[in-house]
């Protein structure tokens, strides 16, 4: 018979993946999973289904976190989730592996906490509407509406999850090549018309070439292509570009004097780049 510790550790990767998807911050996800462990260890009830019990516990903790004044105050549409190496953080075999991609986690951050919970619990962990409704304090029909709304929001990006690693790598390589050459025409041809670029330099913003503090995500190939070409031409010299895995998908990290300064990955569908994600917040570059 397994001990409480063995049961919890068997489910820890799934709990971490759930909390990370909900919050976009792996350090905070680790804190909440540790809180869940303390609650598990101190429980005074018998549990027939430990995994479901622990998933519910972590979901409630995440919802409380998302409802906190601090999180609401820091919410901005130009912040990116913390990029991860899934293997290095023990997440390479969790449920719904594709739903850990940067593109998908970015979309989750655009949903309400309840919508995130409904989508993840139903589509990844096979919770029933009745179970989700009880957890969220809503009716079963309301739970269904939450799920429908969440699915509509993420429907377009699910196409990028169907792109093979080889195609993703090809798109990334073509993007890096065109950007390095400052070729606006090639970039424009490679980008989807409604491409979105999100650059995150941290809570205080940062400089991209001569541009400081983008006002928010850039949308549209006609805006993104010249911006990328200009920033690359003005960017830091002496940076080493290293191929790596970011959230289970091909990406690159720019390294200066042995320190990661930028992580970049893209999403694509139908042969074109649909999303560009540039993480340059020093506090969020330790796990790639």
> pLDDT tens-digit profile of 98-119?
889 999 999 999 999 999 999 9
The pLDDT score that the predictor gives to residue 96 is: 85
* Co-location of 46 and 152 in the same domain: yes
Range of the domain at 254: 163-284
Residue 216: pLDDT over 80: yes
Average pLDDT over every residue of 127-143: 94
Of the residues 160, 180, 212, which one is the last residue of a structural domain? 160
Query: End of a domain among 160, 186, 206?
Result: 160
Same domain for 110 and 199, yes or no, is no
pTM over 0.75: yes
Residue 182 binned pLDDT confidence (cut-offs 50, 70, 90): very high
pLDDT exceeds 90 at position 150: yes
The whole-angstrom separation of Cα 193 and Cα 158 is 18
- On whether both 83 and 192 belong to a single domain, the answer is no
Percent of the chain scored above 70 by pLDDT?
91
278, 200: one domain: yes
**Mean pLDDT across the stretch 22-51?**
95
Q: What is the mean pLDDT of residues 176-201?
A: 95
pLDDT of 72 strictly over 90: no
- Is the CA virtual torsion 192, 272, 119, 34 positive or negative? negative
Nearest residue to 20 (alpha-carbon basis) of 105, 104, 80: 105
Query: In the numeric block, which tokens belong to residue 269?
Result: 């569908």
Number of domains in the chain: 2
Query: Token digits for 16?
Result: 């971490």
For residues 207 and 218, give the distance between their C-alpha atoms in angstroms, rounded to a whole number.
15
pLDDT at position 10 over 90:
yes
pLDDT range class, residue 215, cuts 50, 70, 90: confident
* Mean pLDDT confidence for 175-204: 93
User: Cα 65 to chain center, whole Å?
Assistant: 17
CB 81, CB 280: distance < 8 Å:
no
Predicted local distance difference test score (pLDDT) of residue 21: 96
Please check whether residues 76 and 126 belong to one and the same domain. Answer: yes
Assign residue 234 the CATH number of its domain: 3.10.450.50
Residue 207 has pLDDT above 90, yes or no: no
Residues 182 and 150 in one domain: no
């Amino acid at each position: 018979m397994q001990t409480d510790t063995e049961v919890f550790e068997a489910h820890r990767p799934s709990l971490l993946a759930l909390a990370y998807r909900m919050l976009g911050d792996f350090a905070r996800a680790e804190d909440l999973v540790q809180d869940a462990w303390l609650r598990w260890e101190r429980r005074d009830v018998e549990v027939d289904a430990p995994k479901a019990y622990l998933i519910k516990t972590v979901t409630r903790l995440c919802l409380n976190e998302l409802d906190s004044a601090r999180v609401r105050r820091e919410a901005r549409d130009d912040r990116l989730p913390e990029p991860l190496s899934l293997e290095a953080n023990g997440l390479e075999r969790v449920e719904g592996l594709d739903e850990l991609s940067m593109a998908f986690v970015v979309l989750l951050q655009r949903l309400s906490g309840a919508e995130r919970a409904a989508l993840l619990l139903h589509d990844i962990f096979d919770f029933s509407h009745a179970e989700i409704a009880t957890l969220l304090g809503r009716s079963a029909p309301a739970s269904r509406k939450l799920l429908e709304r969440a699915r509509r929001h993420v429907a377009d990006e699910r196409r990028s999850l169907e792109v093979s690693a080889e195609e993703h790598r090809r798109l990334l390589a073509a993007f890096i090549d065109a950007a390095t050459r400052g070729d606006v025409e090639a970039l424009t041809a490679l980008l989807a018309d409604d491409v979105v670029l999100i650059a995150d330099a941290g809570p205080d913003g940062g400089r991209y070439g001569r541009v400081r503090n983008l006002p928010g995500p850039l949308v549209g190939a006609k805006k993104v292509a010249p911006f990328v070409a200009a920033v690359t031409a003005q960017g830091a010299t002496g940076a080493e570009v290293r191929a790596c895995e970011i959230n289970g998908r091909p990406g690159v990290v720019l390294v200066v004097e042995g320190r990661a300064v930028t992580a970049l990955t893209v999403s694509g569908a139908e042969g074109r780049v649909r999303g560009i994600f540039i993480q340059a917040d020093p506090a969020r570059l330790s796990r790639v």
